[in-house]
């Protein structure tokens, strides 16, 4: 089992735990027998000496069992917390290493559910359920031995009834399994929808969809209630029919036992002990059903966790990666073919070269693959065919951390994290000094407006930066990219919310601040295009149609009127 490595380091604690559990089982089994001895020899034989001895033994056993139980609970708790921590950490680490594609293939709610209740189930399976199964088997074996020894025909009779108990449990478990699965899926869907609705409050208000969202929530909730009712109905039915079977069993056993005492086959003490043992046996046998239930449910959870664990890391690091310690910065795309879905290429053979100190503009109508080119350069995805080289090394061979370190990206969505303006600028370079931060902000023309905020760089930006204007966020995103001191700077429509003069000023600042950097700008602004060293225009066939230095922007606009709209 792949989770074994998580419990293996704690084998000594496990051993202690099992030891305690075995002792508890044996203690539990001693009581009925002591009772039998008291009745048959002390009470009926009226022997005070034997009575004293047995009571003393009983008290000793009981006192001994208290520290054992204490140790057992402590160990159980320790193991559970530790294993839970390690499993969670491992899972989250894996989740982070998975590709963007995997992250986007499921809703945030689903990922959260896997990280929460599902992992809880897996940990429960490893730490609770598995030991329970082993201990239950041990207990049943012992009980069977004792019962056979005391009265084998009766034990056989009880065993003959077990299949009925099993069928009973199986019948209900199968039905509960499906309902529980639906319930889990529904809960996930609800939390996913809620999360989305809360994150998109503005959109919902602007389009007057509050009522729609509320109704959807109600509908989902009602669906969940329906499932809960179905669940409760089946559970109740299971309990009550179980009680009926139980009553028949208890009645039957009590009658046979009483009959045997009257006929003189059993002593009163044996009757008492046997009654206790048989009921323990029955409850243990029934325990199999309950355990089976919980094992099945936890296996569902495990299935889903394993699905995530098995998801392939799409963008893999080379086993012997090339380090890029002193990058010069030369980027080449060679016949790059790529698409997000099989059979539907977005880029069909893209070629270009950029050298240190050059500025290249990517242009072309929406959806032609400009962002895709930047995604490929950062290795968020790997091309289907062709290769991307930096300083002559295929980026698939470069250490991922080095690659990401030399590229600084600011995109038009200018994502912000919770925290202050300063935290957001420092995101990619937490050790930067205040001076470096303000320097980067100056280049991005952000310093002045930040100083006018109530707390300057210590102003909270709010969730997803909603306390800043679009253009302010964009400038902070540029400062953040610059603070990494990247060799390759990618601005994916990162200036789109700014007025042309400011956009131009920032572009000039950037070129001036580090003249030997490669700057890749996705834009439609003629002023920027005219100053670039190269302009690539992507067309709908996924190819680069125009590739020339100092492109004549006016002519480009005349020929591709679609672009002018963005200008």
Ligand X SMILES: Nc1ncnc2c1ncn2[C@@H]1O[C@H](COP(=O)(O)OP(=O)(O)OP(=O)(O)O)[C@@H](O)[C@H]1O
Q: Please, what is the minimum distance in Å from the beta carbon of residue 382 to Mg ion?
A: 19
- Taken in order 250, 252, 256, 258, the sign of the CA dihedral is positive
Q: Considering CB distances under 5 to 8 angstroms, the limit depending on partner class, which of Mg ion, ligand X, none binds residue 153? A: none
| Contact of 216 with 185, CB cutoff 8 Å | no
Q: Which tokens hold the place of 535? A: 């302009």
Nearest distance from C-beta of residue 104 to ligand X, angstroms: 6
Binding positions for ligand X, rule: CB under 6 A: 104, 340, 346, 366-372
Indicate whether 474 belongs to the interface with Mg ion (CB under 5 A).
Answer: no
Q: Which is nearer to ligand X, 300 or 557 (CB)?
A: 557
- Give the C-alpha distances (Å, rounded to integers) separating 67 from 10, 27, 72, 74: 21, 13, 8, 10
Distance separating alpha carbons of residues 483 and 462, to the nearest angstrom = 21
The nearest distance, CB 347 to ligand X, in angstroms, is: 8
Closer Cβ to ligand X, 103 or 199, answer by number: 103
By C-beta, is 471 or 542 nearer to ligand X?
A: 542
- Pick what 346 binds: Mg ion, ligand X, none; C-beta below 5 to 8 Å, kind-dependent: ligand X
| Closest by Cα among 513, 514, 481 to 495 | 481
Rounded least distance, CB 194 to ligand X, Å: 24
- The helix or strand, by DSSP H or E, that contains position 388, with its residue range, turns out to be strand 385-390
**How deeply is 453 buried, as exposed, middle or buried, from its count of CB atoms within 10 A (0-12, 13-18, 19+)?**
middle
Taking the least distance from each CB to ligand X, the nearer of 143 and 536 is 536
Beta carbon of residue 371, minimum distance to ligand X (angstroms, whole number): 3
Under 8 Å between Cβ of 121 and 297:
yes
Based on CB atoms, which residue is closest to ligand X, 173 or 371? 371
Nearer to Mg ion, 293 or 371 (CB): 371
Partner touching 192 among Mg ion, ligand X, none, CB below 5 to 8 Å by kind: none
The tokens of 113 are what? 């559910």
Q: Which does 435 bind (CB under 5 to 8 A by kind): Mg ion, ligand X, none?
A: none
> Shortest CA distance to 142 belongs to which of 63, 272, 30?
30
* Structural tokens at position 161: 């009834």
Which member of 371, 375, 523, 535 binds Mg ion (CB under 5 A)? 371
SS3 548: strand
Exposure string of 285-301, with b = 16+ CB inside 10 Å and e = fewer, is bbebbebebbbebbbeb
Pick the stretch among 226-234, 244-252, 371-379, 417-425 that binds Mg ion (CB under 5 A). 371-379
Asked if residue 372 binds Mg ion (CB under 5 A), the reply is no
Angle between helix 210-262 and 268-310 (nearest 10): 150
* Interacting partner of 368 out of Mg ion, ligand X, none (Cβ under 5 to 8 A depending on kind): ligand X
Q: How far is the CB of 337 from ligand X (least distance, A)?
A: 13
- Closest distance between Mg ion and the C-beta of residue 366, in Å? 7
Which residue, 370 or 393, has its beta carbon nearer to ligand X? Answer: 370
* Between 14 and 523, CB nearer to Mg ion: 523
CB of 189 closer than 8 Å to CB of 306: no
State the minimum distance, in angstroms, from the CB of residue 508 to Mg ion: 23
Spatial CA neighbour of 450 closest among 419, 477, 476: 476
Measure the CA–CA gap between 547 and 363, rounded to whole angstroms.
10
Interacting partner of 477 out of ligand X, Mg ion, none (Cβ under 5 to 8 A depending on kind)? none
Q: How far is the CB of 367 from ligand X (least distance, A)?
A: 4
Among 3-11, 103-111, 367-375, 541-549, which window interacts with Mg ion (CB under 5 A)? 367-375
Burial class (CB in 10 A: 0-12, 13-18, 19+), 342: exposed
Residues 66, 72, 73: CA angle, nearest 5 degrees: 95
Residues numbered 80 to 99 that lie near Mg ion (CB under 5 A) are: none
Name the one range near Mg ion by CB under 5 A: 269-277, 278-286, 342-350, 370-378.
370-378
Minimum distance of ligand X from residue 368's CB (angstroms): 5
CA distances from 463 to 42, 110, 228, 368, 418 (A): 76, 21, 34, 31, 5
Q: Please choose which of ligand X, Mg ion, none residue 433 contacts, taking the beta carbon within 5 to 8 angstroms, the exact cut-off set by kind.
A: none
Q: Residue 340 binds what, of Mg ion, ligand X, none (CB under 5 to 8 Å, by partner type)?
A: ligand X
Q: Which is nearer to Mg ion, 176 or 522 (CB)?
A: 522
Q: Pick the closer one to ligand X by CB: 340 or 384.
A: 340
Residues engaged in binding Mg ion (CB under 5 A): 371
């Amino acid at each position: 089992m792949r989770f074994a490595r998580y419990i293996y380091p704690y084998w000594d604690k496990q051993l202690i735990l099992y030891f305690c559990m075995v002792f508890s089982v044996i203690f539990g089994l001693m009581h009925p027998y002591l009772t039998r001895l008291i009745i048959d020899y002390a009470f009926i034989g009226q022997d005070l000496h034997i009575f004293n001895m047995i009571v003393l033994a009983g008290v000793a056993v009981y006192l001994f069992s208290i520290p054992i139980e204490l140790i057992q609970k402590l160990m159980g708790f320790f193991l559970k917390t530790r294993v839970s921590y390690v499993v969670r950490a491992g899972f989250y680490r894996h989740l982070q290493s998975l590709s963007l594609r995997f992250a986007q293939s499921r809703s945030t709610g689903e990922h959260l559910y896997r990280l929460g209740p599902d992992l809880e189930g897996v940990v429960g399976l490893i730490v609770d359920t598995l030991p329970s199964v082993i201990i239950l088997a041990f207990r049943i074996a012992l009980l069977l031995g004792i019962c056979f020894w005391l009265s084998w025909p009766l034990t056989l009779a009880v065993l003959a009834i077990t299949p009925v108990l099993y069928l009973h449990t199986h019948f209900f478990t199968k039905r509960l399994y499906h309902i529980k699965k639906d319930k889990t899926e529904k809960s996930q869907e609800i939390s996913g929808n809620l999360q989305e609705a809360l994150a998109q409050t503005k959109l919902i208000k602007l389009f007057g969809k509050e009522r729609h969202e509320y109704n959807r929530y109600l509908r989902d909730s009602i669906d969940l209630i329906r499932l809960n009712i179905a669940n409760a109905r089946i559970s109740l039915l299971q309990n009550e029919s179980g009680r009926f079977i139980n009553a028949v069993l208890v009645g039957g056993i009590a009658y046979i036992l009483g009959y045997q005492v009257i006929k003189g086959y059993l002593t009163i003490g044996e009757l008492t002990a046997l009654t206790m043992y048989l009921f323990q046996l029955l409850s243990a046998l029934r325990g199999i059903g309950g355990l089976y239930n919980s094992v099945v449910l936890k296996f569902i959870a495990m299935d889903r966790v394993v699905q995530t664990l098995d998801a392939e890391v799409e963008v893999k690091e080379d086993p012997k990666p090339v380090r890029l310690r002193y990058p010069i910065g030369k980027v080449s795309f060679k016949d790059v073919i790529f698409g997000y879905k099989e059979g539907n290429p977005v880029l069909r053979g893209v070629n270009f070269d950029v050298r240190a100190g050059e500025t290249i503009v990517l242009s072309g109508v929406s959806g032609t693959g400009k962002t895709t080119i930047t995604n490929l350069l950062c290795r968020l995805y790997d091309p289907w065919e062709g290769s991307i080289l930096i300083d002559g090394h295929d980026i698939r061979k470069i250490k991922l951390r080095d690659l990401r370190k030399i590229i600084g990206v600011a995109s038009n969505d200018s994502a912000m994290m919770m925290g202050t303006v300063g935290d957001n600028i420092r995101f990619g370079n937490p050790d930067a000094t205040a001076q470096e931060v303000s320097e980067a902000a100056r280049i991005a023309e952000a310093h002045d407006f930040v100083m006018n905020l109530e707390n300057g760089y210590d102003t909270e930006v709010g969730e997803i930066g909603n306390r800043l204007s679009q253009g302010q966020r964009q400038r902070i995103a540029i400062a953040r990219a610059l603070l990494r001191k990247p060799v390759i700077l990618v601005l994916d429509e990162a200036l789109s919310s700014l007025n042309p003069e400011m956009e131009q000023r920032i572009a000039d600042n950037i070129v001036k601040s580090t003249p030997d950097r490669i700057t890749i700008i996705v834009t439609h602004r003629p002023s920027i295009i005219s100053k670039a060293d190269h302009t690539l225009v992507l067309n709908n066939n996924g190819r680069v149609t125009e590739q020339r230095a100092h492109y004549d922007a006016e002519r480009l606009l005349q020929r591709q009127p679609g672009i002018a709209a963005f200008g």
